[in-house]
Amino acid sequence: MATEKHLSDDWGGDAKNASPDGEFVRDTTYIEDRIVADLPAGSEPIAQDNGAFHWPVEPGRYRLMAARACPWAHRTIITRRLLGLEDAISLGLAGPTHDWRSWVFDLDPEEKDPATGLHRLQEAYFNRFPDYPRGITVPAIVETESKKVVTNDFPSIPVDFQTQWTEHHRAGAPDLYPEHLREEIDELATWLFHEVNNGVYRAGFAGSQEAYDQAYERLWKAMDWLEGHLGEHRYLVSDQVTLADVYLYPTLIRFDAVYVGHFKASRNRISELPNLYGYLRELFQIPGFGDTTDFTEIKEHYYITHSEVNPTRIVPGGPDLSGLIEPHGRERLGGAPFAEGTTLPGPVPAGEEVKNPESFQK
């Protein structure tokens, strides 16, 4: 079994640092292992030239460890549901709050993940890397039997769900990563990460007024571009939902509930931006998006866990987000969420329903 550690420094997660001038700097080092379709099921991981390992696609072998509170994990939950991978990759959900040791399965009986018996996700990391030096992040894919982490490389997980797990997609699953659009999706995903997904954190965790001012201006420059783009295009890339939309949604859906106040991204609410708000309402109403969103857990995570930003740990009662279920009017721009012949996901599997389904109305 693989025991060597290989880490990537290209993307983001939850660990945070500050530069001397107060700018938020994300620890972007991850386990680069991948799960791929060209290895026989049941085989051991194979070391690659870069030191990472490739693991075989194998239904039932892996468990996606996530948290509804975390935007980086949310994108993997959405992708898994849209593609219908529920029977192939099980889902473990940590609670919304944690201490410095990170995520705890305290939503489950006896505060243990029912499939692995893990209490803290940290245990899966230490089972493979006893001296693991980085943040214990979600999403993470864990080998269920060995209880060892396989990868936490969150940018690659949705892509691999689409491209490597194809044989196990539900009938009529969408193609969220069309081959002819991949370069455009990847380019936009990189921009979204730096300017928007991580942009709200750069403002929220700024350690000086100057760093905050710069982060705020940079974020809203990007948000203004999105508002303009979505006034002319129904979705971010092409006229159908792609992974680019999956990547933007977790940030937009947290914006009014958390980022406006908690992260001081306060120029406008999304509900005040007609194109972004219509776009967000449409996504929220598509199965896989709204039915994987729990505002209670989202707010508890940010307002309780980030005590350096919110020392009182008081969780606000608002805002009322019930407008998300109002008509969105995006049909005027043409296109459709998915290509002809694609079907929407069915009901949420038993046991995977959000704990607080009406939380958007509070």
pLDDT in tens, 93-133: 999 999 888 899 999 999 999 999 999 999 999 999 999 99
* pLDDT reported for residue 13: 42
* pLDDT reported for residue 3: 37
Boundaries of domain holding 148? 7-168
* pLDDT reported for residue 28: 78
Domain assignment present for residue 174? The answer is no
Q: 70, 125, 177, 235: which is the annotated catalytic residue?
A: 70
Averaged pLDDT, 44-48:
96
> 183 and 327 in one domain?
yes
CA dihedral defined by 123, 125, 126, 129, rounded to 10 degrees? 170
Q: 30, 177, 201, 249: which is the annotated catalytic residue?
A: 201
Domain assignment present for residue 300? The answer is yes
Averaged pLDDT, 15-26:
70
pLDDT tier for residue 21 given thresholds of 50, 70 and 90: confident
> 40 and 117 in one domain?
yes
* pLDDT reported for residue 358: 77
Residue at which a domain ends, from 133, 168, 203? 168
Reply yes or no on whether 201 is catalytic: yes
Domain assignment present for residue 2? The answer is no
Higher per-residue pLDDT: 361 or 6: 361
Annotated binding residues for glutathione: 103
User: How far is the first Cα of the chain from the last one, in angstroms, to the nearest whole number?
Assistant: 48
> How far apart are alpha carbons 30 and 151 in whole angstroms?
8
Averaged pLDDT, 183-205:
98
> 114 and 183 in one domain?
no
Tokens standing for residue 8: 């990537």
Domain assignment present for residue 221? The answer is yes
> How far apart are alpha carbons 260 and 177 in whole angstroms?
31
Where on the phi/psi map is residue 247: left (φ > 0), alpha (ψ -120 to 50), or beta? Answer: alpha
> 193 and 77 in one domain?
no
Tokens standing for residue 121: 């996700």
> 210 and 346 in one domain?
yes
Q: Please check the confidence at residue 12 and state whether its pLDDT lies above 50.
A: no
- pTM of the entire predicted model: 0.94
Domain assignment present for residue 173? The answer is no
